[in-house]
Amino acid sequence: MENIFYSLHDFYICTKSMTYIAMGLGVLGLLGWWLFLTGRDETIRKY
């Protein structure tokens, strides 16, 4: 992406926004990955 930033503030608004969105997707991705990883584990009930 060849964005032109005229101030450091602009740069951070853009990059931090993208990173926070990516982090949200990452959390969902990790949750999905964990479900995939443990999908065939035997359920252990301790109650």
Partner 1 sequence: MNAEHPVENIHKKKIVFNPGKLLSSPGNLLTAVILAVGLCITILRFTKGLGGVTNLDDNYPWGIWISFDLLCGVVLAAGGYATTSAYYLFGLKGFGTAVRPAVTSAFLGYAFVVVALHYDVGQPWRLVYPIFFSPGTTSVLYEVGLCVFLYVSVLAIEWSVAAFEWLGWKSIRNVIVRLTIPLTVLGVILSTMHQSSLGALYLIAPSKMHPLWYSSFLPVFFFISSMFAGMSMVIFEGTLAHKGLHDQMDAAHLQHADKVVFGFGKAASIVMIGYLFIRIFGIAMDNNWSYLATGYGSWLMVELGVFVALPAFLYAIGVRERKAGVIRCAAAMTVLGVVINRFNVSLVAFNWQLPSAEKYLPSWMEIAISVFVVTLIVTAYRFICTYMPVLREHPDYEAH
Which residues sit at the interface with partner 1, rule CB under 8 A?
1-3, 11, 14-16, 18-19, 22-23, 26, 29-30, 33-34, 36-40
Nearest approach, Cβ of 32 to partner 1 (angstroms)?
A: 10
CB 5 within 8 A of CB 14: yes
Nearest approach, Cβ of 22 to partner 1 (angstroms)?
A: 5
Nearest approach, Cβ of 7 to partner 1 (angstroms)?
A: 14
The full DSSP string for 8-37 is HHHHHHHHHHHHHHHHHHHHHHHHHHHHHH
Q: What is the DSSP-derived secondary structure letter of residue 46?
A: -
